[in-house]
Amino acid sequence: MRFDVLTIFPEIINAYISVSIMKRAIDRGLVDVHVHNIRDYTTDKHRQVDDYPYGGGSGMVFKAEPIFRAVESIEADGIKRLKLLTSPGGRVFTQDVAREYAKSHRAILIICGRYEGVDERVKSIIDEEISIGDYVLTGGELASLVIIDAVSRLIPGVLGDEASTEEESFSDGLLEYPQYTRPREFRGMRVPEVLLSGNHQMVRRWRRKEALRRTLKQRPDLIEKIELTEEDRRLIKEIKEEEQWM
């Protein structure tokens, strides 16, 4: 997967992708991240990327011209890219969207806005506005890193162990079951016996039940969207008998 990020703060993107799993994925050639400084596409001597809003009002607006020039220059290589504009008003980015991007695209271009937002005319050259949640950030860099990270870990080979993404939260519509590592007992808190039993069938059932319990408690909206199996219904009945909050 190739990413092209357009930003006036390349150092934010470069810092994140130069460590951990992102760095390994790039070193192994599974992910390619190209960071472009939008200021390099200005034509005035002050390299200005913002200007006053027409109609008045507070703050500045990201100019359309340097963004157009940057996108046109990047696209001159003929690679077909999904073009995204980060925006709090866009479609909300979820694990399903990450899966859709990872599956259907080989290259993604992400524009990081700043100031009070970008000139509306930039929307004429993008495919989609994308938001990482209902809050307002100072710029699109964090949003683009969220997208790059979530999509990259779905690229085969990036995590090394494919099962890691298969069992994660949201992969089957539920939150992930609780995880434990050594020691068996820590400050009086014991690891559930079933996990020490070596009985794979019991461990599988316990994990499914705890994933259901956690989702029912923390994100009941997710349960309504999945197709429950007979076993799930039985487990939910058990959970309801055990829990007072239900």
Half-sphere exposure of 145 (CA within 13 A, CB side): 18
Sign of the Cα torsion 192, 160, 23, 85 reads negative
Query: Based on CB atoms, which residue is closest to ligand SAM, 62 or 206?
Result: 62
CB of 53 to ligand SAM, least distance (A): 10
Residue closer to ligand SAM by CB (options 138, 181) is 138
- Which two structure tokens, joined as six digits, stand for 226? 């999945």
**Which CB sits closer to ligand SAM, 63 or 213?**
63
For ligand SAM, the binding residues (CB under 6 A) are 86-89, 112-114, 116-118, 131-133, 135-140, 143
Shortest gap between Cβ of 196 and ligand SAM (angstroms)? 43
Q: Give the CA distances from residue 208 to residues 121, 167, 174, 194, 232, in Å, rounded to whole numbers and listed in that order.
A: 48, 10, 9, 13, 8
Q: Which residue lies nearest ligand SAM, judged by its C-beta?
A: 113
CB of 180 to ligand SAM, least distance (A): 34
Under a CB-based contact definition with an 8 Å cutoff, are residues 155 and 113 in contact? no
Closest distance to ligand SAM from the beta carbon of 195 (Å): 38
Q: State which residue, 145 or 154, has the beta carbon closest to ligand SAM.
A: 145
Q: How far is the CB of 3 from ligand SAM (least distance, A)?
A: 15
Q: How far apart are CA 217 and CA 246, in angstroms?
A: 8
Question: Using an 8 Å Cβ cutoff, are 196 and 222 in contact?
Answer: no
CA distance 48 to 40: 10
Closer residue to ligand SAM in complex, CB, 133/160: 133
Work out the angle between the directed axes of helices 10-17 and 141-152 (0-180°, nearest 10).
30
